[in-house]
Chain A
Amino acid sequence: MTVATEPALSPAAERLRGRLAGTPLAGRCEVADRDLPTIEVSPDAWPSLARFLRDDPECRYDLFVDLFGVDNLRRPGQKSRFETVVHLHALARNEHVRVKIPLPDEKKPALPTASEVYPAADWFEREAFDLYGFDFTGHPNLRRILCHDAFVGHALRKDYAPGQRWFFAEEDMKAPEWATHTDERAGHFETQTISIGPSHPATHGIIHLIARLDGEKIIRAETNIGYLHRCFEKMSETHQWNQIVPYCDRLNYVSAMINGVGFVRTAEKMLGIEVPDRGRLVRTILSEFTRIMDHCVCIGANLVDIGALSNFIYLYQNRENIYDLIEACCGARLTVSYVRVGGLAIDVPDDFVPRCRSLLESIPLFLKDVQKLVDNNRIVRQRLQGTGVVTREQAIAWGLTGPMLRASGVPYDVRRARPYDFYDKFDWDVPISNEGDNFARYLVRIEEIRQSLKIIRQALDILPAKGAVSSDDWRVVLPPKDAVYHDMESLIYHFKLVMEGIRVPPGERYEWIEGGNGELGFHAVSDGRGGPYRLRVRPPCFANMQAFQKMVIGGTVSDAVATLGTLNIIAGELDR
C-alpha cells in the first residue's frame, strides 16, 4: 500500500517510532499509522520485537490479543503471499498495536514462535498452523487444533475449496503421548488418565479434557477443542457483508446480538458511514439485554453443574422474558439477524420502551432469589471459593479478557477503555474483584447484570421517540420498501445491493467491542468486492479456554467442573 503524502503520526505511533529508534530493531521494522499503529517486521526479528514491546517501560503492551494469518493470493500488490498479523494491548494506556509479519517463503511459510514471550500466543499459533500451515519454529506443541487429525491441507488458504471435507474415523483420534503411556520415572506411578468429553454434561458445548490424576489431584491436563469448528471465517469469505450477520449470530449464540453489532461496526468504520443515534441506542439496549442473558445462562449452568437446579430455572425465566422482547423486535428468539451494516433490519415495535421498562422491573426480582439461595450457602462457597484461582499476573499473561480478567483485579472493559456508541455518556461502574477465584467470577457477573440494567435505564431515557434507525445511504442500506415498489431509482439501488453486496473500499480494519466473555474483535480485509476478502474474529473464549488446562492443575476434577462453568465457554465462539 502506498501513501502519497505521509500524514502526521498519531502519538502512539510517534512514541513507538521514537522508542524503537535507539534499539537494534530500528532497521528491521517500520512503523506506520493505519487504523491502529502498525509495525511491520521481518520474521527473524519478531521474537525480539515482541520482547521489546512487552518489556519496554514506555510501551508495555502486556496483553496478547490476537494472532492470525492472511493469505494474499488473490490480493495483488502485497509484499508476500502470506503474512501473520498480531494485535497487542497496553493495559496501562488502553492502546492497541498491530504487528505485521510478512512471510517471504511462499512454499514453506515459517516464523519463530512468540509463545515464550506471550504464553497466550500458544493456541493462536497452533490455529495459524492449522488453518494456514505456518511453521512456528520452536513452538512446544505445534499440531492441529481446530480441524480433526485426518485433515489434509490448510483450510483458510485461498486455494482450498470451501466444501472439501475429509473423512475422520475413531481410529484417527490422537491422544497426547503423556496420556497413553505410563512412565514411572516421570512420577506416573499410581496415577491414571481420565478423559472428560467431548460429550459430557459438564462440558458446556463440546470440549475434550484429558487429565492425569494423582489420587484426586490433577497433575497434568490438556484440552482438545475444535469439535464445533464450523468454518466461520471460510464461510465469510464466500458470502456478502450482510449475509455474514446470521453467521455472526451463531458465534456466541448465547448473546447473539452483540456479535452482530461487533461485526457491522467494523464494516461501518471501513465504509465511513454513520448510524443514527436511535439505531445505535437500540443496539446498545439490546446488546445489554443479551449480555444479561449471557450471564444468566453462565451462572445458571454453572450452578447446575455444582448441584443447584432452582437457580437455573429462575435465571432462565429472565431469559424467556427477554426472548419475548427480542422476538417482538426481530422475529426470532435466539439467532436474531437484527443488525445490518448501516443500522437495523427494521425499526423496533411501538411498545418497545414500556416492554424494556417492565423487564427492568422483573429481572432484579429473580436475581434477588438467586442471591438468597447462593451467596451464603456453605456448599456453594466451598465449591467456588478458592478454586480455579487466577492471579492478576497470570490473567494478563494468559491473555484473558472480560469477566475473567476483571475478577482477577484488572479493570479492563472495552466499554470503558475505548467507549463506543454511548457508553461514555452513561453512569456505570466496572465491577472487579481481587480474589480471582470462581466465586469472584460469579460475583462479577451478578454485578455486571445490575450494571447492564443501569445502562439500559439510562439509554431508554435518552432514546429518541421517533426517527430513523438506519443510515439513508442506499449504497449500503436497502431503500424503504415503499420506494422500491414505486420508484425506479430505488429499485436499482435495491437490485445492486442484493445482487452485488456492499462495496466496501479496499483496506483493512480492526474494531473491537466488549462481548459477553471479553474483547470481541473483528478484523476485516476488503478488496472492494461485495464480501470481505478475509474476516478474522477475535474470540474471547479462545484465550480464556487456553488458560483452563493450566488453571485446573493441582485441583480436583470437581473443581475443574466448577471452573469450566465460570469460564463460560461458548463452543460456537471458541471453535468458530
Chain B
Amino acid sequence: MSSDAPKGTLPALGPAKAGGGAADFLLTRLEEMVSWARKNSLWPFPFATACCGIEFMSVASAHYDISRFGSEVMRFSPRQADLLIVAGTVTDKMAPVLRKIYDQMPEPKWVISMGVCASSGGFYRAYHVTQGIDEIVPVDVYVPGCPPTPEELIYAIMQLQKKIQSGEKSRDQRSAKLAAERIS
C-alpha cells in the first residue's frame, strides 16, 4: 500500500523503536502491549448519517459480526469511544456537530472515513455537502466505496489496527499542519 504511494504522503509506518537499557526495554515492551490492547478493543462511535450507516449496521449484525475484532461496543457517547467511524455524507449543516463530537473524544482517538461521501463528498459536488470530512477532522483511514461492502470496512479496521500497533496515536497534529499548508 505504501510502496507506490505518491509523494506528499506520510512516512511509512514502522514498529516502535527498540530501546537501549533495561528500563527502556521494559517500557518498550509495555508500550507494545498497550498498543496491542488498544487495537483489539476499539470502541467505535458510529457517526452514521446516511447509506453507509446501513452497511455499518451490516457489519455489526450476524453476517459480519464486528465483535470478532473487539469493536462491538458501540458507544453513543463520544467520551467513551476511541474510534470515530463517519459513515455517510456530512453536510455543512452537520459539520460543526462532527467537530464537536471529535473534540469530545478522549485521546488517543482515531477516525475512519467510511465511504466516498465522507471522504471527499463523492458525487455530491454540491452547495450543501462538505467536500471531505478532512476539512473538519483529521482522518486516519479512508475507505472508498459507495457504500463500502462490510468486508471493506473490516479491512479498513484491520489496517487501522496495524497502524495502532506501530505506535502512532493520532493524526491530529500532522493533519493540522497539512491543512494549514493546503490553505496557504
By the criterion CB–CB under 8 Å, are A253 and B127 in contact? no
Asked whether A155 is an interface residue with its Cβ less than 8 Å from the other chain, the reply is yes
A247–B125 alpha-carbon span in the complex (Å): 12
Q: Which residue of A lies closest to B96 (CB)?
A: A170
* Contacting pair B128 A229 (CB below 8 A): yes
Asked if B53 lies at the interface with its beta carbon under 8 angstroms from chain A, I say: yes
Chain A contacts for B88, CB-based, 8 A: 228
**CB of B12 within 8 A of chain A?**
no
Chain B residue at minimum C-beta to C-beta distance from A323: B58
Residue contact B126 to A231, C-beta cutoff 8 Å: yes
CB distance from B63 to the nearest CB of A (A): 5
- Chain A residues with CB below 8 A from B22, complex form: none
Contact A147–B54 (Cβ < 8 Å): no
Number of A residues with CB within 8 Å of any CB on chain B: 49
* Secondary structure of the B contact surface, majority rule: loop
> Could you tell me the distance between the alpha carbons of A527 and B123 in the complex, rounded to whole angstroms?
24
Using CB atoms, name the residue of chain B closest to A293: B54
* Interface contact B92-A148, CB-CB below 8 Å: yes
- Bound complex: CA of A333 vs CA of B58, how far in Å? 11
Tell which of A168, A254, A334 touches B93, judged by Cβ atoms closer than 8 Å: A168
Contact of A160 among B55, B89, B98, B127 (CB under 8 A): B127
Contact residues on B (Cβ < 8 Å of other chain), bracket: 35 or more
Q: How far is the CA of A436 from the CA of B144 in the complex (A)?
A: 43
Is A341 among interface residues, defined by CB-CB distance under 8 A? no
Total A-B residue contacts, Cβ distance less than 8 Å = 126
Whether B51 lies near A334 (C-beta < 8 A) is: yes
- Give a binary string over B75-111; 1 marks a CB under 8 Å from any A CB, 0 the rest: 0100000000000110111111111110000000000
Residues of chain A within 8 A (CB-CB) of B100 are 170
Pair A231/B124 contact, Cβ less than 8 Å: yes
Known: A170-B96, A199-B101. A312 touches B61 (CB 8 A): yes
* A312 and B61 alpha carbons, distance in the complex (Å): 8
Contacts of A165 in B (CB 8 A): 92, 127-129, 131
A206 within 8 A of B: yes
A226 interface residue (CB < 8 Å to B): yes
Given the interface pairs A198-B97, A313-B61, A335-B147, the reply to whether A228 lies near B50 with Cβ below 8 Å is yes
Tell me which residues across on chain B come within 8 A of A169, comparing CB atoms: 96
Q: A165-B92, A250-B50, A572-B50 are known contacts. Are A334 and B55 too (CB-CB below 8 A)?
A: yes
Q: B residues engaging A (CB < 8 A)?
A: 47, 49-51, 53-55, 57-58, 61-63, 74, 76, 88-89, 91-101, 117, 123-129, 131, 146-147, 149
Other 14 A-B pairs with CB < 8 A, given A165-B131, A231-B128, A316-B61: A148-B128, A160-B127, A165-B92, A168-B92, A199-B47, A206-B49, A227-B93, A230-B129, A235-B123, A246-B123, A247-B123, A254-B54, A297-B57, A335-B146
5 nearest A-B residue pairs (beta carbon): A231-B126, A253-B51, A148-B93, A316-B61, A170-B96
10 A-B pairs with CB atoms under 8 Å apart are A148-B91, A168-B95, A170-B96, A226-B93, A227-B93, A231-B126, A316-B62, A320-B62, A335-B51, A571-B49
